[in-house]
Amino acid sequence: MRLLFFSTLLACAEAEAELEPCNGSPILCSRSLAEIAVLTTHNAMSNHEDGWGAPNQFNPIDQQLKDGVRGLMLDIYDEDGLLMLCHGVCWAGSLELATGLGFIAEFLRENPRELLTLILENYSEAADLLAAFDSAGLADQLHLQNPQAPWPSLQQMIDSKRRLVVLTDTGETPSRGILAVWEHAFDTPYAAQTADDLSCELGRGAAGNSLFILNNFLTAPLPAPELAETVNFNPFLLDRAKRCGVARDHLANFVTVDFYNLGDAAAVVDTLNAASAH
């Protein structure tokens, strides 16, 4: 009987090991985007390595994706007909949108069981934005989602080959998979200067929306690693994610930070996903 028991345990362990992962874990495959936590970078394009002024991250987008970031907040501007990733002013740092989308397309191509979400602050024309996704070969990978419908599971999104969720918060919203963020999501207030300023209050969007963006970054008046150090480490970050999850009656889906590899943000996402399995 004891031998049978251990043989059964071994068989279960081997079966679980053989399951293909979704966003890095088999336990996430049956869940929807609204039921998982995602490591998300604020102003993802703004980074120290590429020489941006007052950067929000240490590493560029392609490295972020390699490091497990699965949500990118990006600002898009039209600079004399060329779409650029900038933060407020392009002279302080910029990246052609086509280059940024190229990183994303390459990552999705090389990682067929991973899903990405882009949260855009868009100041370009809708048609030009959609054309940029077309040119990058991403238009057919955009996930289509009705705000009134439940999100599909990650496995269903992988099977449909639409593994890119794009949400935009300003500008005209085009069709064909570029979604209006505040029809689908809500967030916490984002203009915080100290850790005490970070609350669980409702920011933008309706509380009944399906996705929860937890803004967990400081700007006083500019981002800095020293500021991130006060909010990126546990127990502060995990306690806040749990507290806001209770206050908003929703798992924090997008844990959004500056300097993502400073502190415990990735570990917090893993903990939230493990806890939500029970």
Q: Concatenated DSSP letters for 40-72?
A: EETTTT-BTTTT-SS-SBSS-HHHHHHTT--EE
Contact status, residue 83 vs residue 129, Cβ threshold 8 Å? yes
pLDDT score recorded for residue 3: 52
pLDDT score recorded for residue 12: 47
CATH of region 25-275: 3.20.20.190
pLDDT score recorded for residue 243: 98
Tokens for 32, please give them.
Answer: 């929807």
Contact status, residue 116 vs residue 71, Cβ threshold 8 Å? yes
pLDDT under 50 in the chain at which residues? Answer: 1, 5-6, 8-9, 11-17
pLDDT score recorded for residue 174: 57
pLDDT score recorded for residue 113: 98
pLDDT score recorded for residue 116: 98
pLDDT score recorded for residue 242: 98
CA dihedral 165→166→169→173, nearest 10 degrees, is: -120
Tokens for 229, please give them.
Answer: 């150090």
Tokens for 277, please give them.
Answer: 């399995």
Helices (H), 174-249: 181-184, 225-229, 236-247
pLDDT score recorded for residue 194: 97
Tokens for 176, please give them.
Answer: 């064909």
Distance between CA atoms of residues 35 and 154, nearest Å: 10
pLDDT score recorded for residue 26: 97
Distance between CA atoms of residues 271 and 278, nearest Å: 12
